[in-house]
Structure 1
């Protein structure tokens, strides 16, 4: 009899030592709950089938400050109707401003290097003064405060002072245009705006005083403007120093219900007005301490860095690490200096960063530049490299272990602004395979479903979540918010959260993310994730950037690839197609390849396939204000008239 043919899975590229497993938060939490850690699949099933027991244990294990109450989870008629901790009272800022007063809790850095640090005692004192200033402006529980702030200590203080009062925080990055800012925070009608008047990027200073003034003219109900980084330009505005000029020394903390609004975050808004997503105090805190401690293994005294601006969900995710008594690094500016590609790693060495958060694009830039960090940096404190924003390619796993550190815990994470957290994450207790994410996050009933609604393995399908979780949005802000929220995530499969990502789960229970399902290619009726093509093209040395989308053609579509390169020759196009054919499949090979000057990106750095395709088809791209470089779309509008190879 002929032996059956079995698919070979790639060997592990990293395995945790027994010591690492035994000392992990994940192992300690399993012991705390009386559940065996292995097999992890059983532990995960327990976490999603015993929701009250699991999330109550997260609260207790993490030492959440507040009153928990007796009832934990009350199921509703559908997922978004679930109630969490209905008797609980807590304050978000109080849970972050905890621990030893003399420890350093935040470092501030920019393109010039590390500029300053702050202890918990100093941070609490600064929060107390800002809190008193906001009180005098009439800010109280239920109000909304908005920030147009850089990623620095003043921005952190503003956020914590706001939430200490039980008010809601929302923020934008100062490099947004006026329309981009108003399209976001204008929806939520903040009572107070805290805004920087200058920011720096690529060693240039940008004065945005006029932009802030114009913004305030469009904010309905605004009662006060606080300015950072300059003198107030109007008599009805206060400087930050004026706000904090009082005798307060110790903050007070207003307890709020578990489901009290904490943050309002915004989707990228490339297909219309950005969705204003309201997140709860307790849901955000519990989700973040679970992710930081169990999946990232962040411990007291660790130092977490994530390259982010104040508009992206990774900003509040970073800040929440204070609740695990870790320090955070607040970095503002470009991640790369022309004279120092490894600038962020210089900062990492100087501070002693233990957890370095970044993006695949940044790692790709270093990889193409031949950077070998093991040769130039000690990185003695570094324990983990984390990545999100796009799928991490298999070659990048190799590069990290070959050139950064052989025993680093590499973790790609995937979730979204909509849940202010992650569905799938790394694991400090799992072997890691190249191109894969270790598994499903605890408490998240993640699955991959095909068009029949059946769970599938080793096959692409829709990433879904089948059980409720505390960090689900409260609503979308504004008229018809509940209806818009339910339509966005529950219309395709009533009662099941369909996230919008194309994913695959392996028979080993690890996960692979292929990109957004709404940008999935479908040539010949076969679903292809754009990440599979980027995973080849972006590692061709001559290609600086790329975008791929489908071009409709007689009930089918052609794959179109647009590349940023010095000169697109026939030989280079041939090389691109050969590599895609060999490393992906013949179905992935693009029919047309165009050269363009630039690829459209959001202000947060994500490439926008939908905008590129819409422009190429001659349709209107809604909300170009969400793009960092809207002028790049002109080349796509002219594609049909241009030659391709």
Structure 2
């Protein structure tokens, strides 16, 4: 068992030699003829011998397909570099691997675990759905849109669609009509696969009218498959999910497609305008995911992987790719917390023998504030890793995880984006864990932090960038001038260098701290401050239930505004908040004004939207309220500066 050396080490957890030697990353280093340590050297090899590295990833992960001879072709522009230009493969074939009897999927919802499905059963379901889609006329390159829940039917729909070279794109059923049309409406889908109701917090939501409205606004939809319920008021041909599967197919047929065959179209949050429709490749997605699952997450055969996600977020495709590493996956549909139990997800984790638990800092903070102490109630014998993304994980949350969940645990805060279908920085099981820091650069990702001069900096904040190509970079943005819009978004600030839009710090140990999005960075007195620096302190004040920080213009400068959700806000409480921020951060971090609000705006994927709060506060129009899960919350920020504050 790993030893947590309290008061003797700067680390919360350190791997044993046995864990390192048994790890994927150690085996991969030997496979490449390289030494794992020092890791910095191994990483430099991975980004300087780009073709060799990604070729080894293909071979080590036993990707099914024809690799070809040409692995990497550099170009003058990073966006134009190509990978595996001669390769062919089938994405679904790589996920539906392994013996028939192995458990492939566990399905669960707010009632608990509902079923388990073997790989043989999953292959049969995909074969039937594949045959049904072909009979409906779906072909290579067609866009198939899904409004699906995170359950087995949704998974089968994805795997069947991409197995025939069609492109999958999706929205979660809780999106509004405009949110759906703004996303999948951009890509002119030929077919829609949709649920007509879903459940959340033990309440059933009927969405037939919403789907009818969506279909009437998207004339490209020729046919509709309804997973639950029936539509009667649309002009397109409609069949049920059971009808789609009503055929004699038992084994999927796998046609090989080029490495750059479009696979998924994912969407950015869209809080500053129409969501960007990002086209991702078959080979790039697969290679990035098997690399992250095996080398960085140490996902072993027969492990069980879970990420709490809806079907619209990039962590959903990340989760289902776990099948390509011979692991089982847990699909969960519903609220992570039920009326009966704060620990519902952990009850399920214990029942299915979960090994990798993927979540968000917001969920962990909810448990921490509620005083949940899992060590007292759950043994979690197979759990070996907790992974977190979506926002920076506070240092205090690191402490809480080890103190209350499990001592012997590989904790990984990871950071990347929808745009790259993966991560720039994450961890490995061979690294010790230091509180508040992301452990290392991901292999094959030439990550750096640059200042305004374009110089690489350590121990100071700057822009997170990537200086070399990688296979999961987008193919394009879907739609008119897509290539140019793609380049303008990521290469305009520094030609030839991917500027991701995160405000970050690289420590002298080459670990990372993410301070939030660069476009929401505060700039009082000309000094850049990440909002995460303030959130880390605010989240430790028990009386504050939620908060949001942004900057407002003031006499050619900017002042920091803090809005909190609390039972009350008094002058004395405001002084206490400021004192905490002053002592734990700096006088520059102290908000000029503190307001009490009833609710904080979030995206549908659970991220705070500082930009929308600021825009509403200064009297401008928030352009894409459909991207918010709670657009009504903005009313609390209307004419904010005229309201009482401390």
Corresponding position of 1:373:
374
Distance 2:611 2:9 in 1: 33
Contact preservation (8 Å) 2:602, 2:608:
yes
Corresponding position of 2:158:
159
TM-score by structure 1 length? 0.98
Alpha-carbon shift at residue 570 of structure 1 (Å): 2.0
Contact preservation (8 Å) 2:551, 2:614:
yes
Contact preservation (8 Å) 1:232, 1:239:
no
Contact preservation (8 Å) 1:186, 1:220:
no
Corresponding position of 2:511:
510
Contact preservation (8 Å) 1:368, 1:539:
no
Alpha-carbon shift at residue 338 of structure 1 (Å): 2.7
Q: For residues 289-339 of structure 1, what are the alpha-carbon distances to aligned partners after superposition, in whole Å with 9 as ceiling and x for unaligned?
A: 000000000011000010000010000000000000101111111111132
State yes or no: 1:387 paired with 2:392: no
Distance 1:40 1:276 in 2: 35
Corresponding position of 1:280:
281
Alpha-carbon shift at residue 10 of structure 1 (Å): 8.0
Corresponding position of 1:21:
20
Task: Give the unaligned 5+ runs of structure 2.
Answer: 1-7
Q: Secondary structure at the match of 1:217?
A: helix
Corresponding position of 1:336:
337
For residues 264-413 of structure 1, the aligned pairs below 5 Å read 264-413=265-414
Corresponding position of 1:112:
111
For residues 352-501 of structure 1, the aligned pairs below 5 Å read 352-501=353-502
Contact preservation (8 Å) 2:448, 2:467:
yes
Alpha-carbon shift at residue 271 of structure 1 (Å): 0.4
Q: For residues 175-207 of structure 1, what are the alpha-carbon distances to aligned partners after superposition, in whole Å with 9 as ceiling and x for unaligned?
A: 000010000000001111000000001110000
Distance 1:535 1:628 in 2: 23
Distance 1:277 1:498 in 2: 16
Distance 2:528 2:275 in 1: 28
Cα 1:10–1:268 change in 2 (3 A) is farther
Corresponding position of 2:565:
564
Corresponding position of 2:211:
212
Distance 2:93 2:433 in 1: 36
Contact preservation (8 Å) 2:196, 2:208:
yes
Distance 1:53 1:135 in 2: 38
Q: Secondary structure at the match of 2:217?
A: coil
Q: For residues 140-191 of structure 1, what are the alpha-carbon distances to aligned partners after superposition, in whole Å with 9 as ceiling and x for unaligned?
A: 1111111000000000000000011011100000000001000000000111
Alpha-carbon shift at residue 100 of structure 1 (Å): 1.4
Alpha-carbon shift at residue 544 of structure 1 (Å): 1.0
State yes or no: 1:634 paired with 2:635: yes
Corresponding position of 2:167:
168
Give the paired residue count: 638
Q: For residues 395-421 of structure 1, what are the alpha-carbon distances to aligned partners after superposition, in whole Å with 9 as ceiling and x for unaligned?
A: 000000000000110000000000010
Corresponding position of 1:553:
554
Corresponding position of 2:179:
180
State yes or no: 1:591 paired with 2:592: yes
Distance 1:219 1:246 in 2: 29
Alpha-carbon shift at residue 76 of structure 1 (Å): 1.2
Contact preservation (8 Å) 1:105, 1:322:
yes
Alpha-carbon shift at residue 229 of structure 1 (Å): 1.4
Q: For residues 483-539 of structure 1, what are the alpha-carbon distances to aligned partners after superposition, in whole Å with 9 as ceiling and x for unaligned?
A: 000000000000000000001111111111111000000111111100010001012
Distance 1:114 1:534 in 2: 35
Corresponding position of 1:233:
232
Distance 1:124 1:259 in 2: 24
Contact preservation (8 Å) 1:178, 1:214:
yes
Contact preservation (8 Å) 2:525, 2:558:
yes
Alpha-carbon shift at residue 576 of structure 1 (Å): 1.2
Please give the root-mean-square deviation of Cα atoms over the aligned residues, in Å: 1.1
Q: Secondary structure at the match of 1:433?
A: coil
Corresponding position of 1:61:
60
Contact preservation (8 Å) 1:413, 1:437:
yes
Task: Give the unaligned 5+ runs of structure 1.
Answer: 1-8
Contact preservation (8 Å) 1:364, 1:539:
no
Corresponding position of 1:80:
79
Corresponding position of 2:5:
none
State yes or no: 1:128 paired with 2:124: no
Q: Secondary structure at the match of 1:374?
A: helix
Contact preservation (8 Å) 2:360, 2:389:
yes
Q: Secondary structure at the match of 2:468?
A: coil
Contact preservation (8 Å) 2:150, 2:310:
yes
Distance 2:329 2:566 in 1: 37
Contact preservation (8 Å) 1:10, 1:434:
no
Distance 2:582 2:113 in 1: 46
Corresponding position of 2:33:
34
Contact preservation (8 Å) 1:300, 1:324:
yes
Alpha-carbon shift at residue 638 of structure 1 (Å): 2.5
Q: Secondary structure at the match of 1:331?
A: strand
Contact preservation (8 Å) 1:450, 1:460:
yes
Distance 1:284 1:251 in 2: 21
Q: For residues 13-39 of structure 1, what are the alpha-carbon distances to aligned partners after superposition, in whole Å with 9 as ceiling and x for unaligned?
A: 111111110011000000000001100
Alpha-carbon shift at residue 233 of structure 1 (Å): 3.0
State yes or no: 1:577 paired with 2:578: yes
Distance 1:126 1:352 in 2: 25
Alpha-carbon shift at residue 232 of structure 1 (Å): 4.1
Corresponding position of 2:4:
none
Contact preservation (8 Å) 2:506, 2:513:
yes
Distance 2:171 2:232 in 1: 20
Corresponding position of 1:3:
none
Distance 1:454 1:70 in 2: 36
TM-score by structure 2 length? 0.98
Contact preservation (8 Å) 1:462, 1:499:
yes
Q: Secondary structure at the match of 1:587?
A: helix
Contact preservation (8 Å) 2:618, 2:639:
no
Corresponding position of 1:190:
189
Higher mean alpha-carbon deviation, 523-532 vs 282-291, is at 523-532
Cα 1:570–1:216 change in 2 (3 A) is same
Q: For residues 342-400 of structure 1, what are the alpha-carbon distances to aligned partners after superposition, in whole Å with 9 as ceiling and x for unaligned?
A: 11111111111100000000000100111000001111110000000000000000000
Corresponding position of 2:3:
none
Corresponding position of 1:519:
520
